[in-house]
Copies of this chain bind each other. A is one copy, B any other.
Amino acid sequence: MLAEEIKNYNVHQLRELAGSLRAEMVEAVRENGGHLSSNLGAVELILALYKAFDFPRDKLLFDVGHQAYAHKLLTGRSLHDLRKPGGVSGFPDPSESEYDAFIAGHSGNSIAAGLGYCAARDIRGETYKVVCCIGDASLANGTALEAIFGSESKPKNFVVVLNDNGMAIDKNDSALYRSLSKATARRRYRKFNAFLDRRFRTTSPFGRRLRRFKYMVKGWLNKNYFFERCGFKYVGPVDGHDLSELVGVLTEISKIDEPVLLHAVTVKGKGLAEAEGDPTRYHGVGKNFAPSDHSFSTALSRLLCARAAEDGSLVALTAAMADGVGLAEFSEKFPTRFFDAGICEGAAVTMAAGMAMGGLKPVVCVYSTFLQRAYDQIVHDVCLQNLPVVFCIDRAGLVGADGKTHQGLLDLSALRSVPNLRIFAPKDCAELADIFDYVRETGGPAAIRYPNGYCPNLGVRQKISDYYLWETMSEGDGLVVLACGARAVARALEAKRISGLKNAQIVNCRSVYPLDCRLLDYFSRRKILTFEEGYESGGFGAAVAEYFAENGKAVRIRIVGAPRIFVPHASAQQQAQLCGLTAQDLARKMQQFDAQE
């Protein structure tokens, strides 16, 4: 395996390998889509880490996870089927390889997890080293900061490599980053660095000792009090693409047992001119580097720009996913009313609550999977105070290639019980606008969830209102299909055709809370099948079952949703097959239920 072979490579060979790894990555992403810019930036860092440390005996934790493709290639994994069923995941995953020491889909976890590893090692009397490779954007996340500041003494044999590319997923405006960039730019550093490099570029044993001294001197010159106070010996900044320097310094670090933070400066998108020029555009891409199609995000973008033009109190917040959720245009048109908190979902939501207290009408736009990180802030800061904050939850339901760390299957079960929060799921992009206007007119906190990718426009029958919370999409006096969300409604209509159940009634249940009790009472003597792209437990179907159970009514309900598993990477359609949620699956379940005694 390359991971072992490169122990014997010299710097020249490593440089060649870096080139071929990059070529392989670019090819794989062109073929399958994936994360490009960050992965390209971390190649030399990863090579030097493998040269200096002894993985998997030593533990390597990535954070963010989308910088690890080179690590996957070194450890015998092909990117050929990247993010496809049975192929490798886009993120480190211990169930995929013993070289992946920890899961890394959500940012900010590596330092706390690494500290946990160290504690376990010391209690069990083991001796391995723990290395966290963390991006500067992840470092700004609350869990990362909690762990860094957690104790002034850090465990021995604990190394944090800060992959500082000067950007979060998007740009990075945080105080932390500014502090880092000041260290890098400091003149005395640059001058002295050049001097030291001239003096100590040697490979003799004496030279090696001198080089150790060089990094001590550099570290002392550039003393970063921030990290020193947190118990780390600060080393750097080093050029994160200079293999000679990286191998040298990491080899030195691997020999000492003090906790070290190595500050490496890298270029996002390194080695691919297009990506270096526009790393945000190439952060995550589809096949042939095409930007992914996100019709709901695009619709949200248009909607927010239009409403913001009419209403000066509308502000939009996100957490390092402005492009993904459709806020790029808004941020340009209304820069003073746009707020990107970085990978800080908790602070973004609490800030929105403060804005609402101050008289604004904030819209928080995040992916379903990342909103999980602000659950308490939604409960305690927004809903308890009953504030008019609207959550636009993108990537709800099955998310496709990003796989199990990124699924949006939990939002309904997590949010449905939170007092004061109303929850909606539009059937198409046009209805997103209707619902958005409706919740803003009627006040209070609300969540609107929708999937990514293309969704057909299904047409309006009854615009949402207090009276018409739900709408019937296809009439019938037999089986009632209560479909919740865009994909569910479209598939339910198709399933009616496939199943031949002409008397099935298809209802667009766009309001998850409150339910349309008038319609539910009306349906209570018929068979009711609920259908959603979310976990079967605790979601929309559960809400319907609960409604009838409040009064002890015996109603024949069948809940259809995703099984309680972490759904792995594949296309969203393949994932729907895996979960039994395609139109064909639904048609079969409708037929079964209809025929049931």
Once A145-B142, A372-B379, A542-B542 are accepted as A-B contacts, the answer to whether A554 and B556 lie under 8 Å apart by CB is: yes
Closest CB-CB distance, A226 to chain B, in whole Å? 7
Closest CB-CB distance, A591 to chain B, in whole Å? 12
A333 at the interface (CB under 8 A from B): no
Pairwise interchain contact A384-B546, C-beta atoms closer than 8 A: no
Number of copies of this chain that the complex holds: 2
A1-9, A114-122, A212-220, A430-438: which lies at the B interface?
A114-122
A545 at the interface (CB under 8 A from B): yes
Closest CB-CB distance, A356 to chain B, in whole Å? 8
Pairwise interchain contact B149-A140, C-beta atoms closer than 8 A: yes
Tell me, in angstroms, the Cα distance from A201 to B8 when the chains sit together: 71
Chain A 101-145 interface mask (CB, 8 Å, partner B; 1/0):
111011001001111111111011010000000000000111101
Once A141-B146, A226-B226, A372-B375 are accepted as A-B contacts, the answer to whether A537 and B113 lie under 8 Å apart by CB is: no
Residue in contact with A103 in the complex, picked from B142, B351, B384, CB distance below 8 Å:
B384
Pairwise interchain contact A117-B355, C-beta atoms closer than 8 A: yes
Pairwise interchain contact B226-A414, C-beta atoms closer than 8 A: no
Residue in contact with A536 in the complex, picked from B105, B174, B550, B553, CB distance below 8 Å:
B550
Residue in contact with A376 in the complex, picked from B121, B352, B373, B530, CB distance below 8 Å:
B373
Pairwise interchain contact A546-B545, C-beta atoms closer than 8 A: yes
Tell me, in angstroms, the Cα distance from A119 to B354 when the chains sit together: 9
Pairwise interchain contact B150-A103, C-beta atoms closer than 8 A: no
Pairwise interchain contact B103-A342, C-beta atoms closer than 8 A: no
A359 at the interface (CB under 8 A from B): yes
Pairwise interchain contact B174-A149, C-beta atoms closer than 8 A: yes
Pairwise interchain contact A173-B147, C-beta atoms closer than 8 A: no
Pairwise interchain contact A355-B119, C-beta atoms closer than 8 A: yes
Pairwise interchain contact B229-A175, C-beta atoms closer than 8 A: yes
Pairwise interchain contact A372-B381, C-beta atoms closer than 8 A: no
Once A174-B149, A405-B384, A542-B542 are accepted as A-B contacts, the answer to whether A413 and B410 lie under 8 Å apart by CB is: no
Most chain B Cβ neighbours within 10 Å, of A174, A231, A375? A375
A417 at the interface (CB under 8 A from B): yes
Determine the chain B residues whose CB is within 8 A of the CB of A253 once the complex forms: none
Pairwise interchain contact A358-B116, C-beta atoms closer than 8 A: yes
A558 at the interface (CB under 8 A from B): yes
Closest CB-CB distance, A336 to chain B, in whole Å? 7
Most chain B Cβ neighbours within 10 Å, of A126, A225, A545, A593? A545
Pairwise interchain contact A346-B142, C-beta atoms closer than 8 A: yes
Once A109-B380, A352-B116, A596-B552 are accepted as A-B contacts, the answer to whether A546 and B566 lie under 8 Å apart by CB is: no
Residue in contact with A556 in the complex, picked from B344, B552, B564, CB distance below 8 Å:
B552
Pairwise interchain contact B538-A416, C-beta atoms closer than 8 A: yes
Closest CB-CB distance, A237 to chain B, in whole Å? 16
Closest CB-CB distance, A589 to chain B, in whole Å? 9
Pairwise interchain contact B143-A346, C-beta atoms closer than 8 A: yes
Tell me, in angstroms, the Cα distance from A6 to B576 when the chains sit together: 66
Pairwise interchain contact B347-A146, C-beta atoms closer than 8 A: yes
Closest CB-CB distance, A334 to chain B, in whole Å? 10
Once A410-B417, A419-B565, A556-B552 are accepted as A-B contacts, the answer to whether A148 and B175 lie under 8 Å apart by CB is: yes
Pairwise interchain contact A549-B559, C-beta atoms closer than 8 A: yes
Pairwise interchain contact B147-A350, C-beta atoms closer than 8 A: yes
Tell me, in angstroms, the Cα distance from A375 to B173 when the chains sit together: 27
In the complex, which residue of chain B has the Cβ closest to the Cβ of A592? B552
A178 at the interface (CB under 8 A from B): yes
A451 at the interface (CB under 8 A from B): no
Residue in contact with A152 in the complex, picked from B103, B119, B178, B347, CB distance below 8 Å:
B178
Pairwise interchain contact B549-A120, C-beta atoms closer than 8 A: no
Tell me, in angstroms, the Cα distance from A354 to B109 when the chains sit together: 9
Pairwise interchain contact B123-A315, C-beta atoms closer than 8 A: yes
Pairwise interchain contact B546-A417, C-beta atoms closer than 8 A: no
Chain A to chain B contacts (Cβ below 8 Å), 24 pairs: A94-B385, A103-B384, A109-B377, A114-B354, A117-B357, A120-B357, A120-B358, A121-B358, A123-B313, A124-B359, A124-B360, A142-B145, A145-B146, A148-B175, A149-B176, A152-B178, A372-B379, A372-B380, A419-B566, A537-B543, A545-B545, A545-B546, A545-B557, A549-B559
Question: Which 7 residue pairs spanning A and B have beta carbons closest together?
Answer: A116-B354, A142-B142, A120-B358, A113-B354, A146-B347, A112-B350, A146-B344
Show the binding face of A for B, using Cβ within 8 Å: 94-95, 101-103, 105-106, 109, 112-121, 123-124, 126, 140-143, 145-152, 173-176, 178-179, 225-226, 229-231, 312-313, 315, 336-337, 339, 341-342, 344, 346-348, 350-360, 362, 372-373, 375-377, 379-381, 383-385, 404-405, 410, 413-414, 416-420, 527, 529-530, 535-539, 541-543, 545-546, 548-559, 564-566, 593, 596
